[in-house]
């Protein structure tokens, strides 16, 4: 698990992409955008949503960017996704071959 550091966006910004681990964490903040580039190997990106549903007690559904190949994905990470136990947002990848990511701070 690696803590991702956000890159401050300016009017014109060339993001620096790096290889993620299979489970990355993010310190919650407003205006965070995770930009992921997926290469030729099918990859599922999952944002882990902590807790359970209020009425049923069932686990909250984690949003996924379902198995994609040779595509980019931009994922908004609002502060409400932070796990109360760790204080961090967790993003997982089904695999990381040919995958790069950049955490951007917008605004």
pLDDT the model gives residue 65: 87
User: In sequence order, which ranges of 1-107 are alpha helices (DSSP H)?
Assistant: none
Spans of all domains in the chain: 2-10+17-49+62-105
Q: What are phi and psi of 53, to 5 degrees?
A: -70, 140
Residue with tokens 């040919």: 98
The rounded distance, in Å, linking the Cα atoms of 42 and 107 is 32
Q: Per residue in 22-81, pLDDT tens?
A: 999 999 999 999 999 999 999 999 999 887 766 777 777 888 888 999 999 999 999 999
Residues 6+ apart with CB under 8 A from 30: 78, 79, 107
Give the sheet arrangement for strand 7-8, strand by strand. 7-8, 99-105, 32-38, 71-76
């Amino acid at each position: 698990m690696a803590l991702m550091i956000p890159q401050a966006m300016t009017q014109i910004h060339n993001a620096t992409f790096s290889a993620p681990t299979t489970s990355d964490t993010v310190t919650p903040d407003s205006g965070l955008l995770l930009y992921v580039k997926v290469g030729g190997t099918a990859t599922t990106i999952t944002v882990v949503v902590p807790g359970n549903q209020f009425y049923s007690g069932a686990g909250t559904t984690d949003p996924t960017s379902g198995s994609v190949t040779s595509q980019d994905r931009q994922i908004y990470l609002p502060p409400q996704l932070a796990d109360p136990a760790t204080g961090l947002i967790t993003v997982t990848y089904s695999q990381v071959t040919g995958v790069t990511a950049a955490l951007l701070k917008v605004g």
